[in-house]
Structure 1
Amino acid sequence: MGQSFNFQGILQAFRVLASPRLMIPNLVVRDIRDINFEQLHKAGIVAIAFDKDNCLTRPYGNELHPPFEEAWKKCKEVYRDKVVVVSNSAGTQDDKDHQGAIAIEKALGVHVLRHQQKKPAGGDELLHYFDSTPASQIAFVGDRALTDIVFGHNYGMLTILTRQVVTEQGDNPMAVQIRRMEHRVLDLLDRMNIRAKEHAIPIDASQLQKATPSASASSEK
Structure 2
Amino acid sequence: MLSTTAAAQLPSCWYLIPSHLNVHHHAQQKRKLTTLSLANADSRIPLRNFYGLSLPQTHNCSKGKESNNRARYNSNLNQNHRHLLFLQFFPDSDTEDSNNQNPRTRNHCQHQVDEQREFKENKEARLLFSNMWWVDVKAALGQRINLEGILCSTMVILKDPKLAMPHISVPDIRYVDWAELRRKGFKGVVFDKDNTITAPYSLKSWPPLESSLECCKSEFGHDIAVFSNSAGLHEYDHDGSKARMLEGAIGIKVIRHRVKKPAGTAEEIEKHFGCEASQLIMVGDRPFTDIVYGNRNGFLTILTEPLSLAEEPFIVKQVRKLETSFVSFWSRRGLDPLSQKLLSDPKPCVKEPYH
| Normalised TM-score (structure 2) | 0.57
Q: Deviations over 1:75-119 (max 9, x none)?
A: 111111110001101111221310000011011110001001111
Report whether the alignment pairs 1:141 with 2:289. Answer: no
Contact 2:170 2:303 in 1 (8 A): yes
Query: After superposition, where does 1:27-106 map in structure 2 within 5 Å?
Result: 27-93=168-234, 94-106=236-248
Alignment match of 1:10 (pick from 150, 171, 195):
150
Matching residue of 2:311: 170
Compare 12-21 and 149-158 and name the one that shifted more. 12-21
Q: Which residue of 2 aligns with 1:117?
A: 259
8 A contact 1:120–1:147 mirrored in 2: yes
Could you tell me which runs of 5 or more consecutive residues in structure 2 were left unpaired when the two chains were aligned.
1-138
SS at match of 2:326: helix
SS, match of residue 240 in structure 2: helix
Distance 1:89 1:40 in 2: 27
State how far apart, in whole Å, the 1-side matches of 2:170 and 2:307 are. 13
Alpha-carbon displacement from aligned partner over 1:158-200 (angstroms, at most 9, x marks no partner): 00000x2111011122111111222111111111000101112
Q: Tell me, yes or no, if structure 1 residue 155 matches structure 2 residue 325.
A: no
SS in 2 for 1:97: coil
- Count residues in correspondence: 210
Matched, 1:193 2:334: yes
* RMSD, matched Cα: 1.5
Secondary structure at the residue paired with 1:211?
coil
- Taking the aligned partners of 2:285 and 2:343, their CA distance within structure 1 comes to 23
Q: Output the amino acid matched with 1:126.
A: I
Superposition map of 1:125-136 within 5 A: 125-131=268-274, 133-136=275-278
Amino acid in structure 2 at the alignment position of 1:45: F
Alpha-carbon distance between aligned partners in 2 of 1:8 and 1:44, rounded to the nearest angstrom: 32
1:71, 1:107 → 2: CA distance? 16
Letter in 2 for 1:35: V
Determine helix, strand or coil for the equivalent of 1:198. Answer: coil
Name the amino acid aligned to 1:14: T
Shift of 1:3: 5.8
Letter in 1 for 2:277: A
Give the superposition deviation at 1:204. Answer: 2.3
d(CA) in 2 for partners of 1:152 and 1:48? 12
Task: Give, in whole Å, the separation in 2 of the partners of 1:202 and 1:147.
Answer: 22
Residues in 1 aligned to 2:249 and 2:156: alpha-carbon distance in whole angstroms: 35
Seen in structure 2, the aligned counterparts of structure 1 residues 2 and 90 have a Cα distance that, compared at 3 Å, is farther
CA-CA distance at 1:124 after TM superposition: 1.9
Corresponding residue number in structure 2 for 1:219:
none
Q: Which has the higher contact order (CA 8 A, sep 6+)?
A: 1
The 8 Å contact of residues 50 and 86 in structure 1, kept in 2 or not, is answered as yes
Partner residue in 1 for 2:14: none
Equivalent residue number for residue 215 of structure 1:
none
What is the TM-score normalised by the length of structure 1?
0.90
